[in-house]
Amino acid sequence: MRLLIALMALLVAAACVRPASNDLVSHAASSPPTERTNLAASSPDTTPPEASAPAAPPRRLIPPPDALTDSAITRRIGGELAADPGMAGADVSVNTDRGVVTLSGTVKSQEQTGIASAHAQRQDGVMRVDNHLRPVLS
């Protein structure tokens, strides 16, 4: 078992190794100018292929900027509440201020209060949920 764990750790470590960038720099610095470089210098209307190729778009590691805005959070929670059949007959108002969601209005049961809180707490960017929903006795 230990051998298997050690082998897996070695494979993970090997997959993370990248070639040193110094090898590429020293190779480029020591090689003489290529014919393509000379052609580009003598012909002003031709551009080298690497200059005309578009750069790859940067990878996005964080959510889009509008993903965590208060208005986006409010819209998402309101949409989920409207689409949930368990919230039928409820009149819920959603307000978000700096990640703090305030739920107010009336619901038909205590269960709907919990459903509304759960929808709000699941959203990205929500720091706290203040639930001011009132069950209406009928």
* HSE (side-chain half, CA atoms, 13 Å) at 82: 8
Same domain for 93 and 129 = yes
Same domain for 69 and 42 = no
Report how far residue 57's alpha carbon sits from residue 99's, in angstroms, rounded to the nearest whole number: 30
Average pLDDT, rounded, for the chain: 76
Report how far residue 81's alpha carbon sits from residue 73's, in angstroms, rounded to the nearest whole number: 12
Same domain for 16 and 71 = no
pLDDT > 90: percent of the chain: 47
Residue 35: predicted pLDDT: 45
- What's at 135, amino acid-wise? P
What's this model's pTM, rounded to 2 decimal places? 0.52
Of 57, 34, 37, which Cα lies nearest the Cα of 46? 37
The total number of structural domains that make up the chain: 2
Asked if the structure places residue 57 within a domain, the reply is no
Check pLDDT > 50 for residue 117: yes
